[in-house]
């Protein structure tokens, strides 16, 4: 299997393949600007490491690599609903894209030296019970000075359907007590820890307890300022009007079997989200693209 990937999709100086953890196939991207890793399970980006900085994505050191489970860390693809299913709690939290096996459709060395991978998921038998409408989902991952992710939802059937989701990115930080997140000042948010109470964000975000918030009416870039790692991480997006900020803090970290007890200290999730009213009605033949663009400024 790995040899077939190498023959069909390998590109010298850009893309190679290996069995990763759990004997799951992964693509390794290495170019003049950065390295990255993408598992076919979940179309999950598990690493992005620009050559001028340290790794940008946080990965749990006890993540489980199983076909029925989402990988903890990196960029889980949440689709076609965000959080619990709106009216059927037997369906998986955050949808099924992150626990599905995707198909690699192309790898390209772009003229600017960046590397692009495209992966697809369609309404094969295993997903039909979870999403009865014909769809095609495509994730394109472009690795260079920045990491650019596009998640394209296509309606290839004859009935409209509604989609939500997120690029649920885990960022690696020096110390949760010392970072600030800029870009959401003055926005209202739903506090998922307080019975869905709505609050107003005053000033930049600092975190000193569990945080699970859905910010509304925002397509703004967020900037993580990290004085310990001496860098700023810029998180821009398109096709999303809600942003989720999540840190599980102490008790929830201890409760999750695939999350180290002290993991909350060195991670924060900033998610380009389509949730609550920010969901998309996709008509037959139409598509919606959710984008997240991540870059690092190593001058602090
Ligand atoms: C966030 C949600 O997006 O994901 C949180 O807002 C949730 O409520 C978190 O706890 C992690 O979810 P999961 O399913 O990956 O453990």
Give 70-120 pLDDT, tens digit per residue. 999 999 999 999 999 988 999 999 999 999 999 999 999 999 999 999 999
| Average pLDDT of every residue of the chain | 96
Q: Specify whether the CB–CB gap between 5 and 102 falls below 8 A.
A: no
Say whether pLDDT at 123 is over 80: no
Whether omega for the bond prior to residue 244 falls within 30 degrees of 0, making it cis, is: no
**Contacts of 271 by beta carbon, 8 Å cutoff, 6+ apart:** 78, 166, 167, 168, 169, 243, 244, 245, 246
Q: How far is the CA of 230 from the centre of ligand 1 (A)?
A: 28
CA separation for the pair 150, 108 (Å, rounded): 15
**Contacts of 14 by beta carbon, 8 Å cutoff, 6+ apart:** 29, 30, 31, 107, 109, 115
196 lines ligand 1 (CB under 6 A): no
Domain ranges of the chain: 2-297
* CATH number for the segment(s) 2-297: 2.70.98.10
Give me the sign of the Cα torsion angle 83, 85, 87, 90. negative
170 lines ligand 1 (CB under 6 A): no
Best residue for ligand 1 mutational test, from 79, 93, 96 (most atoms within 8 Å of Cβ): 93
CA separation for the pair 229, 171 (Å, rounded): 12
Average pLDDT score over residue span 153-181: 97
Phi, psi angle pair for 8, to nearest 5°: -80, -40
pLDDT tens for each residue of 229-266: 999 999 999 999 999 999 999 999 999 999 999 999 99
How many Cβ atoms are within 10 Å of 38's Cβ, its own excluded?
Answer: 28
**Which residues carry out catalysis?**
168, 271
Q: Residue 167: which pLDDT band, with cuts at 50, 70 and 90?
A: very high
Q: Residue 126: which pLDDT band, with cuts at 50, 70 and 90?
A: low
244 lines ligand 1 (CB under 6 A): yes
- Calculate what percentage of the chain has a pLDDT beyond 90: 93
CA separation for the pair 50, 144 (Å, rounded): 8
Structure token digits, residue 94: 């955050």
Structure token digits, residue 159: 């009935």
pTM for this entry: 0.98
């Amino acid at each position: 299997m790995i040899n077939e990937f190498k023959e069909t999709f390998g590109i010298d100086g850009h893309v190679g393949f290996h069995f990763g953890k759990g004997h799951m196939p992964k693509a390794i991207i290495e170019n003049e600007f950065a390295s990255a890793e993408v598992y076919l399970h979940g179309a999950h980006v598990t690493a992005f490491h620009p050559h001028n900085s340290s790794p940008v994505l946080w990965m749990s050191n006890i993540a489980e690599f199983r076909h029925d489970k989402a990988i903890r860390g990196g960029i889980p693809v949440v689709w076609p609903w965000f959080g619990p299913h709106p009216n059927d709690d037997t369906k998986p939290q955050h949808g099924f894209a992150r626990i599905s096996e995707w198909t690699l459709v192309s790898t390209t060395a772009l003229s600017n030296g960046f590397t692009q991978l495209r992966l697809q998921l369609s309404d094969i038998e295993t997903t039909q019970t979870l999403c009865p409408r014909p769809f095609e989902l495509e994730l394109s991952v472009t690795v260079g000075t920045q990491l650019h992710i596009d998640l394209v939802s296509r309606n290839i059937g004859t009935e409209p359907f509604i989609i939500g989701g997120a690029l649920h990115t885990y960022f690696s930080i020096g110390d949760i007590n010392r970072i600030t997140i800029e870009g959401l000042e003055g926005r209202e948010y739903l506090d998922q820890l307080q019975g869905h109470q709505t609050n107003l964000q005053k000033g930049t975000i600092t975190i000193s307890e569990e945080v699970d918030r859905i910010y509304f009416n925002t397509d703004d870039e967020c900037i993580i300022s990290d004085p310990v790692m001496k860098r700023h991480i810029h998180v821009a997006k398109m096709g999303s009007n809600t942003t989720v900020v999540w840190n599980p803090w102490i008790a929830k970290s201890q409760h999750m079997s695939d999350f180290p007890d002290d993991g909350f200290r060195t991670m924060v999730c900033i998610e380009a989200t389509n949730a609550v009213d920010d969901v998309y009605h996709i008509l037959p033949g139409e598509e919606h693209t959710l984008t997240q663009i991540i870059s690092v400024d190593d001058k602090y």
